[in-house]
Structure 1
Amino acid sequence: MKNFGISLLAALFILCSCENDKGNGDNQEIEVNEDVASFKEIGTITVGGLAAAEISAYDETTKRLFTVNNSATNQIDVIDLSDPINPKKLAVIDLSVYSGASNSVAVYDGKLAVALESTTNKQGNGKVVVFKTSDYSLIKEITVVALPDMVTFSPDGKYIISANEGEPNADYSVDPDGTVSIIDVTNNYAVTTLNFAAFESQLATLRTKGFRVSKTAKSFAADIEPEYITISADSKTAWVTLQENNGVAKVDLATKTITSIFGLGYKDFNSAENGIDVSDKDLVVSFTPWKLKGLFMPDAIASYVVNGTPYFITANEGDAREYGTYADVARLKSLNLDATVFPDAATLKADAKMGRLNLVSTEGDTDNDGDLDELISFGARSFTIWNGNTGSLVFDSKNDLDKRSNDFGTYDDTRSDDKGSEPEAVVVAKMGNKNILFVGLERTDTVMVYDITNPSAPQYLQSIKTGDAPEGLLFIPASKSPNKRSLLVVSSEGDGVVKFFQPNLQ
């Protein structure tokens, strides 16, 4: 009777709640007594094959989901989500007329923003195109710079922010600056684009903090590659991952300036709590300490505030630079190790040991004598919580993601030599009085759920099986959900499947 009473009270509260909040950034929430550790699949839809369902965004007014589809097409698939148990494809937004391929989508107050990289010249200018969510008509076509990779609205809807990666061409003869574009929606979509040239004088200091710039870079500004954005709830600050550089930039949106770059340092795998499985050929999964460091190199980023202090959370995927004949990744067995530091080099180079581990081949020669004095790998195989003001590390999940994937039966031993479970996505949600983190693991087809209400001591809650290679995570709070219950939307680019998960009522 007690549970029934709570559920009925929650339902009555939902029916009477105000629904005039706008967009996907408003933190207004209704009270629903949900079990945060009980998410289960309630619906699924397949929109295509490989690369068909990378990122999704939801419009609460029309109850539609907008999903990137780059499988054999160049379009946004529109999904009717009025019944999450039975989602249906409703329409298609054809992007071919804009000469761009979509990388990201975001929604606010009836507006859909799409980030498009140029299909004729990847180093050329890209676009952010804005449509109405009601009838898909064009609102504005905005030119930004090279390779807009992620787009998002500020929570107040005033700005659209684009992370423009600016990747080089195959022979590095053309390498556009990596930039961040701030589009002022309230000022006829005027664009302010920020580059990182002003921080070149800080490079020596940044290097001591694990920040890296390619030896082939045409310039400091050109080498920076913005990847993903999160914006504070008050719409004043953005944090942007610089994945290949192993850093995060902090942006003041009011003054439209980049105020800081945080070098993220190294993860030390030579401890029991950080031990990892490094071989895909040893026929066993064993999480063992190794004389090895990892660059965090985060992909997705999320943020939240606890007791007035901002925090950002990173999914520490790791990523190599591979352009044409240039690559900064090599297996350990192909590299020269310093004989004094690694007297057991011959043993380490065996396939069943560290031989097949992918390393950052351009890092680790600390004395510049042509051999490696340190072994540096891609990614940290973890999520990390950082202080948003200082960039200091507050909490790292150590080897919890890999170990729990193995316990869950989804760990892929064939990826042990290359990033492990590969944390790809992070989303933070407020559920009741708790802050809940969802972590998408690309190589284990899993989302893991943690209570991060205390930033220094997250608590594991649950593992969820997803589609193949989950790329995009989207949390729809109960106040905006079509069925007035919290929804987790997982878009998986490996099989083109979008799945919908909901927690139980308590």
Structure 2
Amino acid sequence: MKLWLALGAGTLAAAMLAGCGGDSDNDPVPSTDTPAVSGVKLNFMGRYSTGQFDESAAEIPAYDAGTRRLFVVNAQKGALDVLGMNDPANPALVDTLTTSDIAANTEVNSVAVRDGLVAVAVQAPVKTDAGYMALYDAETLELISFVEVGALPDMVAFTADGQYVLTANEGEPSDDYSVDPEGSVSVVDISDPRNPVVATADFTALNGQEDELRDQGVRIYGPGASAAQDLEPEYIALDADGTTAWVVLQENNALAKVDIASATVTEPLLPLGTKDISQDGNAIDASDDDGVINIRTFDGVVGLYLPDAIHAYSAGGDTYLVTANEGDARAWGEDNDAYWGTEGAGCAGDASQGFVEEFRVKHLVHADGFDRRCGDDLPPQLRALGAGGLLNPTTFGYCGAVDGDPGDCREDDVLGRLNITWTEGYRTDSNGDPVMFTAAGVEDPAGDRIMYDTLYAYGGRSFAIWDAEGALVWDSGDAIEQFTASDECMAGAQRNIPCADYFNSGHDEGSAFDSRSDAKGPEPEGLTIGTLGGKTFLFLGLERMGGILVYDITDPTAPVMQDYLNSREDWVTEDTESVLASAGDLGPEGLVFIPASDSPNDKALLVVGYEVSGTTAVYEVEALRD
């Protein structure tokens, strides 16, 4: 009989805390005569392949120790692939769990497992409608119960005591931005798994405070959106005692703090700020079109952290938060011709048909203004601000900017190719309206140009550690790009392919050297944490370049890199789909750490879902000892 079924509600939480499963359980304390763990190394063991290329056929994995099963989100099916792990080197498909028993055409977005319970975040057929959190039996795959939660539940997690399941309800808008649901966090009490009780932590109390939030550094900028509509929960971190959750509001560049018992947002939002790209140690490669690796600093450019995955851990009695600083732009209506408009129609795109905030620097500050991009990639909301953009020559004089002329700053090998958001960085007055300039760079209320003092790029190209109040403790700076550009970095499961030959490559094409430098570089997205020998290790997935970075983060103020393994094998073939069987693993999305105490082979394991190659890879986490 299942533990959750056999025990009453009063003892369930304690039993779950003591039971197997999850990715945060510690290894047994080593005996005193065992050498201490000095580090870790990843070794590729094997993979399961769906045979589906670039269909998001393997995204988020979760593991149940009792059944030795992996549950992997397969977005191409809209379901969970259930993989047997008796032989970790050869995971095998044993079943598929669909959510058609909840409603037709629903889709699985995320999964978490704890002691035989499989919690699933389920998207409604229309993504702006309310979704569901469902519980299934890990062995029989029986639907135990489900409850309605917010729109687009995008991540699901158990609290440490097993009493609650939380979902991050992103509430993304429709593609034309005509419907924009409110973001929220659902807190589901599963003391009785057959009768879950849902409560909702929402952001409606912040409605009317949009200007104050912007002043604090929270990005509130969706067209016509209230604070509650604009805030989009992406990912959840939980403390060790199950009382507090920290929720990433990715597009808003902030965290929310949630009291779990009362299901309320209890603290002011925690804005994450920006990363100064002018500072040594924060350099980036900003161009995908110069044919070389050129990691350098740029005055006047900052990076928005915009993290995706987050995880909490304890060190020295305090809670710390680790984020993968991916970066993410709002891009709705990209394929809608009515949104972009046409040159013949006077560049009159329909702003009610979408919202795209991403724009290249070279197009933003061209001397001929915005209309040269009509019918191509000119957002009508940007065109409504002015006829063109200028660079502040005081800030950008280092690359030749003068009044009315960007100089060499817009060249492809400088800042021209860099993707930034046009929604901030331009000079405004006390009312928040743009200060206008003439095309010659003279401030004039009758002018039709806006002046950019700062350029805001996407993502930190890093991971960061924050304290419980959202204060930055440590950031990896430019270490990831510097490492993947170095001779030390080798890709392939056998570590025999120079990373520098494929620096900042994309994950869905071959021969793509430098192709992501203009965007978010290596694009850290997913992460998880594991403990071995009393030390805490971070496993960080690089979505575009690929591979898993491992850091010892036991001391949150001084993380130390341990290893990097990239099991992508084919980097040359243009049509990567045609060589999928030999390409290896492309596009890491979700990661789960399996401690040795729960592992089917008594070794600590890392499992990674790769959305582009549609593979689920298994790695041994080898403890190194002095």
Q: TM-score, normalised by structure 1?
A: 0.92
Verify: 1:355 aligned to 2:416, yes or no: yes
1:404 to 471, 483, 499: 483
Tell me the distance in 2 between the aligned counterparts of 1:215 and 1:56. Answer: 32
Q: Deviations 1:263-314 (Å, cap 9, x if unpaired)?
A: 0001000022111100001111111001200110000001101111111011
Verify: 1:53 aligned to 2:58, yes or no: yes
Say whether the 8 Å CA contact 2:310–2:527 is kept in structure 1. Answer: yes
Q: Deviations 1:408-452 (Å, cap 9, x if unpaired)?
A: 205321100000000101212111121111111001111100111
Tell me the distance in 2 between the aligned counterparts of 1:353 and 1:208. Answer: 31
Q: How far did 1:337 drift?
A: 2.4
Hey, what does 2:545 align to over in structure 1? 444
Tell me the distance in 2 between the aligned counterparts of 1:48 and 1:70. Answer: 14
**Equivalent runs, 1:241-280 vs 2, <5 Å:** 241-260=248-267, 261-280=269-288
Letter in 1 for 2:479: D
Letter in 2 for 1:404: F
Q: Deviations 1:344-366 (Å, cap 9, x if unpaired)?
A: 22311111211111101101013
Hey, what does 1:503 align to over in structure 2? 621
Say whether the 8 Å CA contact 2:23–2:529 is kept in structure 1. Answer: no
Say whether the 8 Å CA contact 2:310–2:322 is kept in structure 1. Answer: yes
Residue 393 of structure 2 aligns to a residue in which SS?
A: coil
Hey, what does 1:288 align to over in structure 2? 296
Tell me the distance in 2 between the aligned counterparts of 1:490 and 1:171. Answer: 34
Hey, what does 1:38 align to over in structure 2? 41
Verify: 1:236 aligned to 2:243, yes or no: yes
Residue 53 of structure 1 aligns to a residue in which SS?
A: coil
Hey, what does 1:91 align to over in structure 2? 95
Hey, what does 2:579 align to over in structure 1? none
Letter in 1 for 2:552: D
Tell me the distance in 1 between the aligned counterparts of 2:164 and 2:427. Answer: 43
Say whether the 8 Å CA contact 2:248–2:310 is kept in structure 1. Answer: yes
Hey, what does 2:120 align to over in structure 1? 114
- Judge which range, 257-266 or 364-373, deviates more: 364-373
Rg comparison, structure with higher value:
2
Tell me the distance in 2 between the aligned counterparts of 1:28 and 1:422. Answer: 29
Say whether the 8 Å CA contact 1:47–1:69 is kept in structure 2. Answer: no
CA RMSD of aligned residues (A): 1.8
Verify: 1:329 aligned to 2:358, yes or no: yes
2:232 to 212, 225, 229: 225
1:377 to 438, 457, 467: 457
1:468 to 574, 583, 586: 586
Tell me the distance in 2 between the aligned counterparts of 1:215 and 1:67. Answer: 32
Q: How far did 1:143 drift?
A: 1.1
Hey, what does 1:308 align to over in structure 2? 317
Q: How far did 1:204 drift?
A: 4.3
Letter in 1 for 2:166: I
Q: How far did 1:205 drift?
A: 4.6
Letter in 1 for 2:302: K
Q: How far did 1:96 drift?
A: 3.9
Letter in 2 for 1:146: A
Say whether the 8 Å CA contact 2:279–2:297 is kept in structure 1. Answer: yes
Verify: 1:386 aligned to 2:466, yes or no: yes
Structure 1's 20 and 293: CA in aligned 2 closer, same or farther, altered over 3 A? closer
Residue 480 of structure 2 aligns to a residue in which SS?
A: helix
Q: How far did 1:233 drift?
A: 1.4
| Gap runs ≥5 in structure 2 | 1-16, 334-353, 365-388, 429-433, 436-449, 490-498, 505-513, 568-584
Letter in 2 for 1:40: N
Structure 1's 184 and 289: CA in aligned 2 closer, same or farther, altered over 3 A? same
Hey, what does 1:27 align to over in structure 2? 25
Structure 1's 205 and 63: CA in aligned 2 closer, same or farther, altered over 3 A? same
Q: Deviations 1:152-186 (Å, cap 9, x if unpaired)?
A: 11121111100000011123221110000001001
Provide the identity percentage.
41
Hey, what does 1:457 align to over in structure 2? 558
Hey, what does 1:163 align to over in structure 2? 168
Aligned length: 485
Hey, what does 2:601 align to over in structure 1? 483
Hey, what does 2:509 align to over in structure 1? none
Say whether the 8 Å CA contact 2:153–2:170 is kept in structure 1. Answer: yes
Q: How far did 1:36 drift?
A: 3.4
Q: How far did 1:26 drift?
A: 6.3
